[in-house]
Amino acid sequence: MSRRTHLLPGPYGQSWTTPLLLTSLKGGAVPHLTKETLAYMEIEPAFLAPAAPIVQQTEVLEKYQKGLTSFLGLPHQFSLMTPLDPSVPDRPGFHTQKSVALWHNGNKTSVTPEMYMRGVIAAQPSAFVALCDSETPVGASNKRKGKAVSKSLDFLDRCLLMKASEPRLSDSLIFGAIEGGYDAQCRAFSAKETVQRPVDGFLIDGFHTNGVTSGDLIWSDAQPLLQSILKALPDSKPRLYQGSCSPKMTLDLIEIGIDMFESSYVFHETEAGHGLIFPNTLKPVTSPDNGCHASLDKKVDFLDLKDPQFKDDFSPIHQSCTCYSCRKHTRAYINHLLATKEMLGPVLLMIHNLHHYQIFFRTIRECCETDSISALRALI
């Protein structure tokens, strides 16, 4: 199997080892959390910032001058700006020849590469994905898929040109998107062309239409295409995948060569009232109690904490978890908060789920070093 670890340079001399999880922002915050509540947990200071809220307030960031992460109260942190919000379902049919439609809070902005780069310059992210067209849902026409590829390459060239002439972006990494939907020829062309350009990394894009359904990727359809794309890319540059990734899908994608992920899976599980309990370390589970009436041979990734069975369950979400929520609060309390639709419910779930998924990635990195990813896979 392929095993990749490499250092990703960050701002201020930081570096990250992949496989890396970027925490996805929504609007301009980690969903349900604030700088104050984030301080109650240990999290990789690396964020994915969807572009729509940035381009809709380029003027604000230009006036502010100190860049996006400072504006958000998260200064000196790694930020990767990307065209679409992977947690929000795409709204097809709004792109034009010269622009891509980006949506935020129900407002559409038709964004050209020039507008996009103005937003990038104002946001000063550590890295950004060049503007691209990923509107290639299953069943898209050949013409549409070809268009997505050629438009994305054209946009990439224009982003590269503007980046080259902008001293404020000299330290920012630029990622090129590989498009083409479920079409081997389009994909091969997109990969071949993108590789020839001076990009620092790649976004493996256009396999789904974002939102919660991005987790329903049909692996047998996507896998051969993903594999051939990744083979065409140089080993030395990181590959980013956006979309909801279950633990198993994460391992599958790492195995074929994806390096960077984002946390929309955690967001969707939190919104559903789920607490993650899948094995996220190689340590043997000391207590067999996963708090579920499911039989022991059935692996469950999460507990549905809305379920009345947890009403009087005063244990933490996950027995061996050291996160803030598990140290301080019980399943019964979270069940009560969800039943009463109190805002603290998703806060506690987000803290736990993000922690749990971060630990999973830490374990993955350890496994990559010791070549023991198969041991982790056996648990998932």
Interface residue with other proteins, options 27, 164, 272, 283 (CB under 8 A):
27
Closest CA relative to residue 202, chosen from 232, 230, 239, 174? 239
* Distance (Å, whole) CA 128 – CA 131: 9
Nearest C-alpha neighbor of 191 from the set 232, 159, 160: 232
Distance separating alpha carbons of residues 274 and 253, to the nearest angstrom: 23
Of 59-67, 135-143, 166-174, 285-293, which segment contacts other proteins by CB under 8 A? 59-67
Nearer to other proteins, 323 or 376 (CB): 323
SS3 label, residue 41: coil
Here's the x/- map for other proteins, 340-379, by CB under 8 A: it reads as x-xxx-xxx-------------------------------
Strand-pair partners of 202: 176, 239
Q: Which range touches other proteins (CB under 8 A), out of 5-13, 58-66, 221-229, 352-360?
A: 58-66
Choice from 29, 160, 282, 379 touching other proteins (CB under 8 A): 29
Of 19, 64, 1, 40, residue with least CA distance to 354: 40
Q: Is 336 in the site for other proteins (CB under 8 A)?
A: yes
Based on the shown chain and the rule CB under 8 A, indicate whether residue 53 belongs to the binding site for other proteins. Answer: yes
Is the CB of 91 or the CB of 98 nearer to other proteins? 91
169 contacts: CB under 8 Å, gap ≥ 6: 120, 121, 124, 163
Counting every residue written for the chain, the total comes to: 380
Restricted to residues 237-276, the positions that interact with other proteins (CB under 8 A) are none
> Binding of other proteins at residue 333 (CB under 8 A)?
yes
Residue span binding other proteins (CB under 8 A) among the ranges 36-44, 163-171, 245-253, 275-283: 36-44
Task: Give the range of 69-77, 90-98, 193-201, 243-251 binding other proteins by CB under 8 A.
Answer: 69-77
Distance CA 35, CA 23 (A): 13
In this chain, which of 282, 339, 359, 380 binds other proteins, going by CB under 8 A? 339
Structure tokens at 125: 């992210």
Binder among 20, 46, 51, 72 for other proteins (CB under 8 A): 72
Residue 348 or 368 having the CB closest to other proteins: 348
Task: Looking at residues 287 to 306 of the shown chain, list those that interact with other proteins (rule: CB under 8 A).
Answer: none
Q: Which of 232, 234, 158, 217 is nearest to 182 (CA)?
A: 217
Euclidean distance between CA atoms 46 and 81, whole angstroms: 11
Of 6, 14, 40, 44, the residue at the interface with other proteins (CB under 8 A) is 40
Q: How far is the CB of 177 from other proteins (least distance, A)?
A: 26
One residue of 5, 142, 218, 314 binding other proteins per CB under 8 A: 314
Regarding 45 and contact with other proteins (CB under 8 A), the answer is no
> Considering CB under 8 A, how many residues would be counted as binding other proteins?
42
Q: Which stretch binds other proteins (CB under 8 A): 23-31, 205-213, 237-245, 261-269?
A: 23-31
Residue selected from 32, 144, 187, 356 as contacting other proteins according to rule CB under 8 A: 32
Q: Closest approach of Cβ 120 to other proteins, in Å?
A: 17
Nearest 5°: CA angle at 306, between 302 and 308? 110
Task: Show contacts of 68-76: CB within 8 Å, 24+ apart.
Answer: 68/122, 68/123, 68/124, 68/125, 69/125, 71/28, 72/25, 72/28, 72/29, 72/35, 73/35, 74/35, 74/45, 74/47, 76/11, 76/12, 76/45
In this structure, are strands 201-204 and 173-178 parallel, antiparallel, or unpaired? parallel
**Three-state secondary-structure class, residue 49:** strand
Residue 100 phi/psi, 5° resolution?
-125, 135
Among 171, 216, 235, 312, binds other proteins (CB under 8 A): 312
Which spans of this chain sit near other proteins (rule: CB under 8 A)? Answer: 26-37, 40, 53, 57, 59-60, 63-64, 71-73, 105, 311-312, 314, 324, 328-330, 332-333, 336-337, 339-340, 342-344, 346-348
Residues of each annotated binding site for Zn(2+): 321, 323, 326, 352
Residues of each annotated binding site: 321, 323, 326, 352
